[in-house]
Structure formats: structure tokens, C-alpha cells
Amino acid sequence: MSGAPAIETSGLRKTYRTRRGRQVAVQGLDLHVPAGGVHGFLGPNGSGKTTSIRMLLGLINADSGTMTIFGHPVPDDLPAVIDRVGAIVESPKFFPAFSGRTNLELLAGAIGAPKSRVGEVLEATHLADRAKDHYAAYSLGMKQRLAVAATLLKDPDLLIFDEPTNGLDPAGIREVRDTMRDLGQRGKTVLVSSHILAEVEQVADTVSIIGRGHLLASGSVSTILGSQGTTVVRVGVSEPDRAATLLAYEGWTTRREGTHLVVEGASDPAAVTRALALAGLYVHELTPVVPDLESVFLDLTTHEQLGAPPTSRASRWGGRK
């Protein structure tokens, strides 16, 4: 199974029965997570991220579609690959009346890991000095660290973190981020689901953005950002009103932003400079406007909420990598 993607899903669908009838949580999700590196799994609340992860881990049953982890079809072949997967789904969940150490010892016992491994992961997650405390007495950050410790018991090749920084203070967020980055650099595959985009942007190599249960965009972060970033430039020019009229005549969309013009659709910024210069308007500043992941995300998901067809946007970003 070498060379297989870490995760691949095709046509994944899940509906829930509610009082108001069947509610679609995931509809035809095609996900491709390459092996190695950090992959952001982004989407607004309720977009189907956690449901998708639960299906991958065999916690809930898919209505239809196929899933593989390192080439193994899941959930049927999950026992063969589960030792390579560590996961925290939503908030960490352990036995509250047991200590952190006891919780880890039970899990280690279930997979046959040596007891010494428990000490190692407690040290690695800076929990050794609080290991004898009841889990119920842990702060949210400590609970999150214990969950990370649990995933490390197996020394997995794939780590799935579902909203790992929920409720953490800035130091905790940074710690989790560093852990993910470190794991990615060590060749592990980290799938991090989040709706906090700034944190994902800092660590992710590739991302998938979903909305309403299906894929909106997928690819490397630079591709997704770059494909939008090259189209918008901010221009400082003498006589901005005349420049705006000229550029509009040439086919660009412009808007005033103070003394500057923002030009959309400028896939070749030099063409803007040239057009203005030919009209005797001299550019004293030209800055490509590079969007952050948040603006891309908002653009995609806002349109999604308005009901625009998602397929056109998926292809706009070049589809899957």
C-alpha cells in the first residue's frame, strides 16, 4: 500500500433522521489527503467535517460512498490500519474518575503497548507532573494534551485532529500548532479539521474546503491562495478617477479605495501598468493583493450558503491535487 494517499473518499454520503425528516450531513464528498504533511480540512460549523471524520474512523456508518485509509477500504479493513491512525474527534473524551495515567494505561493495554510508552507520551505532552490527577480535574488544555498523548501511544502515521484548539488559550493553541507542524515535518500525515482558518493557514501544506457536506475546493495552500491572489492588484496612480475610467474601458473591474484603485481580474499586472502609462498616467505603487485563506474560505462558503452551484468553484481552484 506504499504510495497510497493517506485518506481518500469518493461519493461519501450521510444523512441523519431528525424530527423534520432526513437531514443531509455529508453529500457526495470526494476527499483526497496526500500522505505526509499537514492537511487542513476546512468548513463552517455544520458543514460535515466531524461527520466525515467519524465515518472514516468507523464510529458512524456511511449511507453510501467509499473510503480508504492508506489504501485500506474502511470501515471493513479498519482493524488492519487502525494502529497507524491516531484521532481526536471533537472534544477529548476519557473516563472522568480515572487519572490521566490510568486512562492512558487502559488504552495502552488495549493495543498491547508497553507501560513505559505511557510515561513517554505523558512527558512528551508535559503532563507527567499531573498524571495522577483525575481527568475531571484537568483544564481544557490539559484534556486536549491528554488526547494528543493518547494518539501518540500508537506512534501513528496518520493523525486526525478535529477542532484541536477549541477552548485553548493562546499558549495552548500555539503548542498544538507546533505539535502538528512537527509531526508533519517528521513525515506523518496530519488531518486537522477546523473553522479557525488562521491557525490552519500557518501549518497546513494542503487544504480541502467543504460546505454543506461536499467539497468546494482542494489543493495546496499556495495554489488556492495564488489562484485568487494574482487577479487583484492595488494601484497607486495620479488621477485615479481618470485611471478608473480608462481601466474600465479596457475591461477591468475597478473600485476606489481611498487614493488607490483596486483592480480585479488583473491576471497580468504589467498589462495594467502598460495601459495606464500609454494614457500618460504614471503608477507610483502596484501591490498584488494576496488573499488569506479566510477570504477564500468566506468567498467559497458564502456563495455556498447563497446556493450557487459548488462544482463551478471546485473547478475554479483546479480541483483536487
Binding residues for another protein, per CB under 8 A? 54, 57-61, 75, 78-79, 82, 85-87, 89, 91-98, 102, 106-107, 109-112, 147, 150, 154
Query: Taking a C-beta distance cutoff of 8 angstroms, is the pair 153, 115 a contact?
Result: no
Q: How far apart, in Å, are the Cα atoms of 66 and each of 10, 56, 157, 191, 192?
A: 5, 10, 21, 18, 21
* Nearer Cβ to another protein (94/317): 94
Gap between the Cα atoms of 86 and 80, Å rounded:
14
Minimum Å gap between C-beta 233 and another protein is 48
* Nearer Cβ to another protein (79/288): 79
* Nearer Cβ to another protein (111/198): 111
- With a CB cutoff of 8 Å and minimum separation 6, the contacts of 201 are 40, 221, 292, 293, 294
- Cα-based angle 18, 20, 22 (whole degrees, multiple of 5): 55
> Phi, psi (5° rounding) for residue 15?
-120, 150
Beta bridge partners of 86: 159
Minimum Å gap between C-beta 36 and another protein is 21
Minimum Å gap between C-beta 105 and another protein is 9
Minimum Å gap between C-beta 263 and another protein is 49
Minimum Å gap between C-beta 118 and another protein is 13
* Nearer Cβ to another protein (122/281): 122
End-to-end CA separation in angstroms for the chain: 19
* Nearer Cβ to another protein (115/255): 115
